[in-house]
């Protein structure tokens, strides 16, 4: 339901190649049009955005992030296990959490969700003490994500496809050890290990199509050894979530995961590098309240 608490619009002006800055005016006009009380702050860096969100919560204001999945994920992690909900206005390149939550990418639609004020609880992931909302991945995925973040000449969602192709050229398989719920040990060789709280990453890639934000479990997606040409041919299937039916892909479920690898890798989540391997991950069930439409029936 709607709330009378004022909003704090936390804007990342550099998100989405400047999309956050371009959306600020239209979002503010929509908030004014709906007579919603708010103030705006510009997040000069990730830590600054988190500080502003926590200060807003302390002042009984509602933080609303206008930015990409990186800032949304870190602010959401900081608000986890508090009584303060998180509002989201998609302003990045991927906008994957908003996509899964059903929050529109246009300012009018996103502000309409805020105005309606429906709240739902979602799980929060944690890797080596760093929190995330989407998918934590390592191996090929994290190397491609890092390349995408460094890209300057490619815009929009195409940057993820570009980064995957560039990474594939020099990729060589790695060996991973994955432990699920302190019991099941898996020796995995191939491309990547992804620990998914949500369904999507990389601008609409449904890596874990059956993952749910509120079921208390990670979906662990293991992509094994396969030739580069077949891997490339299967990439479009990730956008439909049908890649999980391929023989080289397996999906497990657990609430605690440990991951090690035969060579150094970073762990990326919500588009940001959070830590390095080895990694311990756990799920904080129902730890965050978000302002979003009710979940649709399966």
DSSP 171-235: ---EEEEEEETTTEEEEEEEEEEEEESSS-BTTTB-SSTT--TTSS-EEEEEEE---HHHHHHHH
Judged against a pLDDT cut of 60, whether residue 273 lies above it is answered with yes
Q: Is the pLDDT of residue 1 over 70?
A: no
Read off the pLDDT of each residue in 213-227 and give the average, rounded to a whole number.
Answer: 97
Decide if pLDDT at 3 tops 90.
no
Q: Which two tokens mark 10?
A: 């936390």
For all residues of the chain together, what is the average pLDDT?
Answer: 93
pTM, rounded to two decimals: 0.92
Q: How confident is the model at residue 16 (pLDDT cuts 50, 70, 90)?
A: confident
Region 62-83: what's the mean pLDDT?
A: 96
Per-residue pLDDT tens over the stretch 143-193? 988 888 776 655 555 777 788 888 999 999 999 999 999 999 999 999 999
Q: 130-285, what's its fold? A: Tumour Suppressor Smad4 (2.60.200)
Q: Is 131 helix (H, G, I), strand (E, B) or coil?
A: strand
- Domain boundary assignment for the chain: 7-117, 130-285
- CA distances in angstroms from 272 to 136, 172, 244, 247, listed in the order given: 9, 23, 24, 29
Q: For the chain, give the percent of residues with pLDDT over 70.
A: 96
172 half-sphere exposure, CB direction, 13 A CA radius: 2
In the predicted model, what is the mean pLDDT of residues 67-90? 96
Q: What is the pLDDT of residue 297?
A: 55
Contact 43, 92 (CB under 8 A): no
Which residues lie below 8 Å from residue 21, measured CB to CB, with a gap of 6+? 11, 13, 14
Q: Is pLDDT at 41 greater than 90 in this prediction?
A: yes
CATH class label, 7-117: alpha beta
């Amino acid at each position: 339901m709607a709330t009378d608490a004022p909003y704090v619009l936390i804007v990342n002006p550099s998100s989405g190649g400047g999309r956050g800055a371009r959306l600020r005016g239209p979002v503010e006009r929509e908030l004014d049009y709906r007579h919603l009380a708010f103030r705006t702050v510009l997040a000069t860096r990730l830590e600054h955005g988190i500080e502003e969100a926590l200060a807003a919560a302390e002042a009984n204001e509602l933080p609303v992030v206008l930015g990409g999945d990186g800032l949304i994920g870190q602010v959401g992690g900081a608000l986890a296990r508090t009584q303060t909900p998180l509002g989201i206005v998609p302003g990045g390149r991927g906008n994957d959490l908003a996509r899964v939550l059903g929050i529109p990418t246009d300012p009018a639609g996103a502000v309409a969700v805020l105005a309606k004020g429906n709240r739902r609880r979602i799980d929060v992931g944690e890797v080596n003490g760093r929190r995330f909302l989407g998918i934590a991945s390592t191996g090929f995925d994290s190397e491609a994500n890092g390349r995408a973040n460094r890209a300057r000449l490619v815009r929009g969602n195409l940057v993820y496809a570009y980064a995957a192709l560039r990474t594939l050229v020099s990729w060589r398989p790695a060996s991973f050890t994955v432990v699920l719920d302190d019991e099941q040990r898996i020796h995995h060789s191939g491309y990547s290990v992804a620990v998914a709280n949500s369904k999507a990453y990389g601008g609409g890639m449904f890596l874990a199509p059956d993952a749910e934000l509120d079921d208390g479990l990670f979906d662990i997606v293991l992509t094994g050894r396969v030739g580069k040409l077949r891997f490339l041919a299967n990439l479009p299937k990730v956008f439909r979530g049908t890649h999980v039916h391929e023989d080289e892909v397996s999906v497990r479920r657990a609430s605690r995961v440990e991951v090690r690898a035969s060579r150094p890798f970073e762990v990326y989540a919500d588009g940001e590098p959070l830590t390095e391997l080895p990694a311990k991950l756990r799920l904080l069930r129902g730890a965050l309240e978000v302002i979003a439409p009710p979940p649709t029936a399966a």
